[in-house]
Structures are given as C-alpha cells and as structure tokens.
Amino acid sequence: MRQDVATHAKDERQDALLLRGLGNKRLPGLAAAAVAVAVAWLIHTTVPVIPFLTASVMLGILSANLPGISTAVEGVLQPGLTLSAKRFMRLGIVLLGLKLSLIDVAALGWKTLAIVVGIVLLTFMGTLVLGKALKLPGDQPLLLATGFSICGASAIGAMSGVTKTDHRDTVVPIALVTLCGTLAIGVLPALKGPLGLDTVQFGYWVGASVHDVGQVVATAQTAGAAALAVALIIKLTRVLMLAPMVTGAALVGRFRGRRTANGAEDNGIKLPPLIPLFVAGFMAMIVVRTLGILPPVVLEVAGTVQDLLLAAALYGLGASVQIRSLLQTSGRAIIAALLSWGLIAALAFVGVHFI
C-alpha cells in the first residue's frame, strides 16, 4: 500500500516536472510573438493603411526567412509559436463573436442577407472545385475555400481546428489569402471610378469581397465613413457564416470517421465533436452581443484582446512560411487563390447591383 502511494506520488512529481519543462520551452516563442505583436501594432499605427493582422503575418514570414532569426524560429522558438498559432487562434475566434449582433444582420433585410449568403456559398463551392481540379494536396482546397469566402486567416484557423490539419499545412492558404487581401487594399479603390460605383455601392462591394476585417477597413475607408459603415456590416454578416460552415465540416468529418470506424477492426476511433468547443464559444458570444448585456467598455477591451490573440496566432503561422519552398511547390495553389479572388470580386460586384 505504502509502495503504491509512493509510486503514485513519484509519478505526479514527474508529470509536474514534465509540464513545467514544457512550459519553459514555450516561453521564448511566446515572448517572440508578444514582441512581434507590439512591432505590428507600431507599424499599423504609423502606416494605418497596413492592417494590424496583415503586419503580424508579414513579420512572421520575415522571421522564418531572414538568416539568423530563421534558425531560432525552427529551434528554440518553435514550441511557443506552435502554441500561439493553435490556441490563441481559437481564443481569438471565440471573442470575434462579440463583434456580431444578429440585430444588425437582420436590419439588412432578407434580400441583402440572401445575396451575401449566396456570395459566400458560391465562392466556397467554386474555390473547392478549383482546388480539387488543380489537384491541391490535403485540405488545401477546403482551407482556401473557407478563407476566401468567409473571413480570411481566422476562418482558415477555425476550419483547420475542425479538420485537425497540422498548423504547418495551413501556411500556404493563409499566406495566399493574406496576399490577395493585401492586394485588394490597393486594387479595389482604383477600380471604384472605372466600374461606376458610388460610395455606398463601393462599401457593399468591399464588405462582400475582401477577406479579413482589417483589410476591409483599410480598403473601405478610402471612400469615406459611409462606405466603411456599410462594408463592416456586410463583412460581419459573412463572418456569421463561419459557425454553420465549420459545423458542417465537423458533421462531414464525423460521418466519415464513423464509416472508417465501422469498417475497421478497432472501433475505438475517436470521432470529431459535433460542434467544436471554440465554435460553440463563438456562437455564444454572438448571442451575448445580441442581447446587449455587456457595456461598451467591456466590448472594447474584448475587441482589443481578440486582435492581440489573432495577431500572435498569425505571427506564429507566418513563421512557418518558407518562401523558397512556397514558390517551388505552390504554383497551383497560387493560381487557385487568384482565381478565387477574382470569383468573389465578380460575384460581389454582380450582387451589389441587386441590393
């Protein structure tokens, strides 16, 4: 009896030491992510046209490819950056729900809402077909479809959490959706005049076609406050599609997992959850925002925390991007991304004229 107690106590001490050691290994990477977030914020403050989250991704990519720093990224910083890329992304997505109010969405009217949902679904299916036709590997077609149709890197992070995709395999989709969203900041305002769009129509177009919320702000504000207000409402309505799309992917994964389990000798295969915990949290935060039970100061603080978490996560993901290998192996993915970008821009432009 005493021997069993002593053995149990010894095992607990070893587990505690292991966890402490693991935590210590993560500290350098977490510290690097914190510094990168601060630098990204300074860049955004100095040059507002560069979105905060875009700056974070770009700093991560630079860190992974600059001599000297890249060695640390692949070595001592990797455990902390991996934690940041996975866990912080999910926490940030949960808090993203506090930016969405169902009342604002309902105020758009059924016609506008139907058009926005149609744009999301058509872009998703079109990109998925393009990715499969171009024979992109693994989950790349699904992740590209999610990122381009809904809300950029955040949507890719949410979908990869359901599909259990290794965070290193999300690098190409996130890099490409960030690239196209950044290009939109310069391209779309230049097309406003030639396409004959007034201020409000331009806001609708930006909100329905640009990927990340920060990129929407940077693009729409070039046409003034009215365009920005419309763009944000449309964009956040697209973000609302994140929950059903990710839940649908979880259902498909669960069905396939059950079929695999039924066809295997070992039926102990763990199925993915019906609704992932962070998606349930995201939906709960939407309800909280809709009920209006939180004061504005709490919403403001939550929004800041959400931006910081997503910035740290995107820095960690960007730090996985090896430009040389990206250029060598991702030609078809680049083609798929550019076609998807053109698809959503065209669908949104047509949709603007029906709103």
Query: What is the 3-class SS of 97-132, one letter each residue?
Result: HHHCCHHHHHHCCHHHHHHHHHHHHHHHHHHHHHHH
Residue 36 burial (C-beta neighbours within 10 Å; 0-12, 13-18, 19+): buried
Closest CA to 53 of 138, 191, 195, 154: 154
Percentage, residues of the chain above pLDDT 90 = 40
Task: Give residue 246's pLDDT band: very low, low, confident or very high (50, 70, 90).
Answer: confident
Whose tokens are 């010894």? That residue is: 10
DSSP at 295: -
Helix axes 152-163, 89-96, angle to 10 degrees: 120
Q: What is the mean pLDDT of residues 47-56?
A: 87
Quote the pLDDT of residue 325: 67
Residue 168: CB atoms within 10 A of its CB come to: 13
Q: Three-state SS string across 300-331, please?
A: HHHHHHHHHHHHHHHHHHHCCCCHHHHHHHCH
Q: How many CA atoms lie within 13 A of 282 on its CB side?
A: 25
φ, ψ for residue 5, nearest 5 deg: -65, -45
Task: Give residue 209's pLDDT band: very low, low, confident or very high (50, 70, 90).
Answer: very high
Residue 141, helix vs strand vs coil: helix
Quote the pLDDT of residue 15: 44
Q: What is the mean pLDDT of residues 210-217?
A: 87
Quote the pLDDT of residue 168: 67
Percentages (nearest 5) of helix, strand, coil residues in the chain: 85, 0, 15
Reported as a single tens digit per residue, the pLDDT across 106-162 is: 888 999 999 999 999 999 999 999 999 999 988 999 999 999 999 888 889 888 878
- Kindly list the distances between the CA atom of residue 55 and the CA atoms of 24, 250, 321, in Å, as whole numbers in the listed order: 27, 31, 14
DSSP at 276: -
Residue 229: CB atoms within 10 A of its CB come to: 14
Percentage, residues of the chain above pLDDT 70 = 85
pLDDT greater than 80 at residue 244 = yes
Task: Give residue 341's pLDDT band: very low, low, confident or very high (50, 70, 90).
Answer: very high
Q: How many CA atoms lie within 13 A of 164 on its CB side?
A: 8
Quote the pLDDT of residue 202: 96
Contacts of 91 (CB under 8 A, 6+ apart): 278, 309
- Kindly list the distances between the CA atom of residue 8 and the CA atoms of 20, 22, 145, 333, in Å, as whole numbers in the listed order: 18, 21, 49, 52
What is the chain's mean pLDDT, rounded?
Answer: 84
Q: What is the mean pLDDT of residues 185-199?
A: 93
Reported as a single tens digit per residue, the pLDDT across 303-324 is: 999 999 989 988 988 887 777 7
- pTM, rounded to two decimals: 0.78
Distance, CA of 252 to chain centre: 20
User: Is 145:336 a contact under the CB 8 Å cutoff?
Assistant: no
Q: What is the mean pLDDT of residues 316-341?
A: 82
